Amino acid sequence: MDHEADAYRTDLMTITRFVLNEQSKHPESRGDFTILLSHIVLGCKFVCSAVNKAGLAKLIGLAGETNVQGEEQKKLDVLSNEVFVKALISSGRTSILVSEEDEEATIVDKSMRGRYCVVFDPLDGSSNIDCGVSIGTIFGIYAIKDDHEPGLDDVLQPGKNMVAAGYCMYGSSCTLVLSTGEGVNGFTLDPSLGEFILTHPNIKIPKRGKIYSVNEGNAKNWDGPTSKYVEKCKYPTDGSSPKSLRYSMVADVHRTLLYGGIFLYPGDKKSPNGKLRVLYEVFPMSFLMEQAGGQSFTGTQRSLDLVPKSIHERSPIFLGSYDDVEDIKALYAAAEK
């Protein structure tokens, strides 16, 4: 028996311990944020378990309804949404919830209210469940500044005002990536312990990467700068190697964070505002990317400076390694001249 290995397993940095350590740096903290995060983590564990059993439990397949985005809902979409709504409300720390699956924002009952707003996509990429491709949950958290009746104005604010953001990816392993505004850290679920363990401390994205992620099926509708950039990725003129292509949001952003590169979902002739939703896709991922030393751009401005006018608003996005995003910004600047 390897006693040394067993001793090591008793000194693990779990996500609970990590968040409590962060809380101790703020003596004025009441622990509300820690409690809220613990409920989000519980929701992620539940969904991870459901995703792993989806085929066996007949959770795969359409639920027969269409969500507000016009996408046919999978049973797991419905389940994941219910799990997170209930977990967030029962925390007693939220006032308003915005989910991709619900047309209207959820205002929490007065008796269960707290000082945070949570925006989330309960199961991004759920159409890929059948074929085992990585899917995930994306979330962002805003704080309500003063004691008032919660309303849409509390969530219709720039992404730079978020106090935390993260995603949980359900794939070959279950990985939760979190930023509370002081860097980015990654945790992996240890199934034998039922705990998320810190495996990727202080993630920093490389200044430049070798991979680009985009849906090339929309190429005929792209604008000039996007077409030029993708052409440059495939046929570089400076003697460097071509970039490799991958595409799928949570998995691609995760890989881009770790290895560098760029993820792009531009606006095009068919969808001028792109396809990704500002509040619970663009903002959380942009928040994480900037915290890791990268940047995020809409084609006209910094993504986190956007002020959304509706809860399901969409925006183009280019995010990833700092220098890679600088390249696409330069192409847009040149096109304006």
What pLDDT was estimated at residue 167? Answer: 98
Say whether 229 sits in a helix, a strand or coil.
Answer: helix
**Would you place residue 172 in the very low, low, confident or very high pLDDT band (cuts 50, 70, 90)?**
confident
Average pLDDT over residues 153-162: 96
Q: Which of 56-70, 182-196, 252-266, 276-290 has the lowest mean pLDDT?
A: 56-70
- Where do the CATH 3.40.190.80 domains begin and end in the chain? 211-336
Average pLDDT over residues 90-106: 96
pLDDT(253) > 60 = yes
Sheet holding 94-99, edge to edge: 106-107, 94-99, 113-124, 135-143, 164-170, 174-179, 185-190, 195-200
* Domain 15-200, CATH: 3.30.540.10
> Which tens digits make up the pLDDT trace of 1-44?
454 555 556 678 999 999 999 888 888 888 999 999 999 999 99
What pLDDT was estimated at residue 325? Answer: 98
Average pLDDT over residues 276-284: 97
- Where do the CATH 3.30.540.10 domains begin and end in the chain? 15-200
CA dist., res. 144 & res. 117, Å (int): 7
Collect all residues with Cβ–Cβ distance below 8 Å to 283 and sequence separation of at least 6.
119, 140, 159, 162, 165, 303, 304, 306
pLDDT(131) > 80 = no
Its pTM stands at: 0.90
Chain centroid to Cα 125, Å, comes to: 12
What pLDDT was estimated at residue 99? Answer: 97
Per mean pLDDT, which of 3-7, 47-51, 294-298 is the most reliable?
294-298
In terms of DSSP H, where are the helices of the chain?
3-9, 15-24, 32-52, 75-90, 224-234, 249-259, 283-291, 322-336
Average pLDDT over residues 86-115: 96
Q: Which of 2, 4, 10, 25 is nearest to 183 (CA)?
A: 25
For residue 233, what are its two tokens? 């990725």
In words, the CATH class of domain 211-336 is: alpha beta
Instruction: Output the average pLDDT for the chain.
Output: 90
Say whether 55 sits in a helix, a strand or coil.
Answer: coil
> Which tens digits make up the pLDDT trace of 62-90?
556 666 666 655 588 888 999 999 999 99
